[in-house]
Chain A
Amino acid sequence: MNIIEVSNLSAFYESRQVFKNLDFVVKEGDYLCIIGENGSGKTTLMKILLGLGIKHTGTIKLTGFTKREIGWLPQKTQHQKDFPASVKEVVMSGFDGPGFFGFKYSRHQKDLAKKNMKLLDIEGIAEKSFSELSGGQQQKVLLCRALCAAKKVLLLDEAVTGLDDTSSDELYSLIKKLNNQGLAIVMITHDTKRALADAKHILSLSENAHFYGKVTDFNMQSKGGVE
């Protein structure tokens, strides 16, 4: 079943067209890697999917979940470096917070957070300060936060940038594990080699022609093409 259907999507950033006529789908339990040069609109596409106010035309259809139930691992931002917050506080912020005067999270949410922390093996550092963790551990915490928000799909934006090999391998295998458990993965990456190893589908953005299809077809095309 298709959980995300994108058709004829064009995006604009400050009146410049970023990409046009994009068509692709994400199936239940899919693993889609989005690749492309810098400026080809990978992050813009993700922001459109998340509904973060990017001008666009075309249609996006989500089935079985809403925009708010997408788990998102953003590109790292600067200001989090000295932020006083525990790992647990960061993870819990993945939930759409409780409503008016709903001071505390529900038991269900607490249990889910615990389960997710166990899954990503960050249970032991729950009370540690987020800003004092290594880059790899911080990414795992943010992945866990995304997991708390995710109903069917995780969107990952350059998840391993700036991590050493060991940490990136660990993160990739965690993502693979989550995918095997049935969660659909949509990942932006620079690391084409790695992307091709784990992904089921590839979306390659470029100015002239986009490619969307199975990884095997992508390999065939790039071998038979210019390269």
Chain B
Amino acid sequence: MNFLMQILSYPFAQRAIIVGVLLSVSAALLGVNLVLKRFSMLGDGLSHVSFGAAAVGLACGIAPLQFSIPIVIIAAFLLLRLKQNSKINGDAATAIVSSSALAIGIIVASLTTGMNTDISNYMFGSILALGKTEVVIATISGVIIIVVYTAFYQKIFSCTFDEDFAAVTGVNVKLYNSITAILTAVTVVIGMRIMGALLISSIITFPALSSMRICKHYKCTVIAAAIISVISFLLGILVSFAFDIPTGAAVVVINLVAFLILSLIGRVKQI
């Protein structure tokens, strides 16, 4: 208990917890849709783009966050579009875009600032790096995601389950896909600060996959994913303080443990 109070007394830890919880919920909600629409790798691709953009931003002396967000949003649109009318297969395109962006980022960084702590923080994440801006952006985007999701819950379900049918009943499918792209982009950029570019995609896919082990209803899947995501994040941050390991990595490992336990429960329930 003392340990907990001690953690909570640090302002940077408070910021990390606020941003992390909002991020976990957003990532989980978006993740359910991305996983079900077979866009799981979108988060991964975008995180590399985000890293590349942040490196360029740092080199040019532009605030990396403000520079990354619009670029990653554009990348999200491009990747989703490729998936729709593609001569190049969607996940091949994602692989190309993500490694190219990462490569550009590394080159720019090594030519200018060098591979310093800043760059390493973008790669592997650091809760110390969170400033007020991140808290503000994470809060705004987190609130928007939760509001949009609850307000248009039925339409989002319909779009995810069967896009063409949804379009026929009058749902503006393009609008929802665009909203998903923008929100995923913002979540990835903010998440990169805590989780790191290399690890952020896991908090998008893991909670959705974990909750799908035990849930057979959509509503249950969405709610369980959000809960699993938040609990994994909080446990992850505790573990990272207790053993002095990077937060991002700790959160991912806790998510992995949750996934394994829930898979086991899912198996047992089936028998």
- Residues of A participating in the B interface, judged by any CB pair closer than 8 Å: 50-52, 67-68, 70, 72, 74, 77, 79-80, 82-86, 89-90, 92-98, 100-101, 103, 105, 127-129, 131-132, 145, 149
Contacts of A89 in B (CB 8 A): 157, 217-219
How many residues of B sit at the interface, in one of the four size bands? 20 to 34
Residues B216 and A129 in contact, CB atoms below 8 Å apart: yes
CA distance A101 to B220 in the complex (A): 20
Tell me which of B168, B169, B212, B216 contacts A95 (CB under 8 A): B169
* Nearest-neighbor residue (CB-CB) of A90 within chain B: B161
Top 8 nearest A-B pairs by Cβ distance?
A: A129-B216, A97-B154, A68-B170, A93-B158, A97-B155, A86-B217, A84-B221, A85-B218
Contacts of B81 in A (CB 8 A): none
* Nearest-neighbor residue (CB-CB) of A82 within chain B: B212
Residues B164 and A93 in contact, CB atoms below 8 Å apart: no
CA distance A132 to B215 in the complex (A): 12
Contacts of B257 in A (CB 8 A): none
| Known A52-B164, A84-B215; 5 more pairs at CB < 8 Å | A52-B167, A74-B165, A86-B216, A86-B217, A97-B152
Residues B161 and A129 in contact, CB atoms below 8 Å apart: no
Contact with A along B78-99 (1 / 0, CB 8 A): 0000000000000000000000
Tell me which of A77, A79, A105, A131 contacts B154 (CB under 8 A): A105
Contacts of A98 in B (CB 8 A): 154
Of residues 118 through 168 on chain B, the ones whose CB sits less than 8 Å from some CB of chain A are 150-155, 157-158, 161-162, 164-168
* Nearest-neighbor residue (CB-CB) of A47 within chain B: B164
Residues A103 and B153 in contact, CB atoms below 8 Å apart: yes
CA distance A52 to B174 in the complex (A): 12
Contacts of B168 in A (CB 8 A): 50-52, 67-68, 70, 72, 149
* Nearest-neighbor residue (CB-CB) of B150 within chain A: A103
CB distance from A95 to the nearest CB of B (A): 7
CB distance from A47 to the nearest CB of B (A): 8
Is B38 in the interface zone, CB < 8 Å from A?
A: yes
Contact A79 to B212, CB < 8 A, known contacts A70-B168, A84-B217, A93-B158 = no
Tell me which of B152, B157, B217 contacts A93 (CB under 8 A): B157
CA distance A92 to B219 in the complex (A): 13
Of residues 200 through 227 on chain B, the ones whose CB sits less than 8 Å from some CB of chain A are 212, 215-221
- Residues of B participating in the A interface, judged by any CB pair closer than 8 Å: 36-38, 150-155, 157-158, 161-162, 164-171, 212, 215-221
Contact A79 to B165, CB < 8 A, known contacts A86-B218, A101-B151, A103-B153 = no
Contacts of A85 in B (CB 8 A): 157, 161, 217-218
Contacts of A128 in B (CB 8 A): 216
CA distance A185 to B167 in the complex (A): 21
* Nearest-neighbor residue (CB-CB) of B37 within chain A: A79
Contacts of B218 in A (CB 8 A): 83-86, 89
Residues B216 and A132 in contact, CB atoms below 8 Å apart: yes
* Nearest-neighbor residue (CB-CB) of A88 within chain B: B217
CA distance A86 to B216 in the complex (A): 7
Residues B171 and A96 in contact, CB atoms below 8 Å apart: yes
Contacts of A95 in B (CB 8 A): 169
* Nearest-neighbor residue (CB-CB) of A89 within chain B: B218
Contacts of A82 in B (CB 8 A): 212
CA distance A67 to B186 in the complex (A): 36
CA distance A67 to B167 in the complex (A): 10
* Nearest-neighbor residue (CB-CB) of B214 within chain A: A84
* Nearest-neighbor residue (CB-CB) of B156 within chain A: A97
CB distance from A96 to the nearest CB of B (A): 5
Contact A145 to B216, CB < 8 A, known contacts A79-B38, A83-B36 = no
Contacts of A80 in B (CB 8 A): 161-162
Residues A96 and B150 in contact, CB atoms below 8 Å apart: no
* Nearest-neighbor residue (CB-CB) of B217 within chain A: A86
* Nearest-neighbor residue (CB-CB) of A145 within chain B: B165
Residues B170 and A96 in contact, CB atoms below 8 Å apart: yes
CA distance A101 to B158 in the complex (A): 16
Contacts of A83 in B (CB 8 A): 36, 161, 218
Residues A97 and B151 in contact, CB atoms below 8 Å apart: no
CA distance A79 to B157 in the complex (A): 14
* Nearest-neighbor residue (CB-CB) of A132 within chain B: B216
Residues A93 and B165 in contact, CB atoms below 8 Å apart: yes
Contacts of B220 in A (CB 8 A): 84
Most buried by B among A50, A74, A85: A85
CB distance from B33 to the nearest CB of A (A): 11
CB distance from B204 to the nearest CB of A (A): 17
CA distance A93 to B153 in the complex (A): 11
* Nearest-neighbor residue (CB-CB) of A95 within chain B: B169
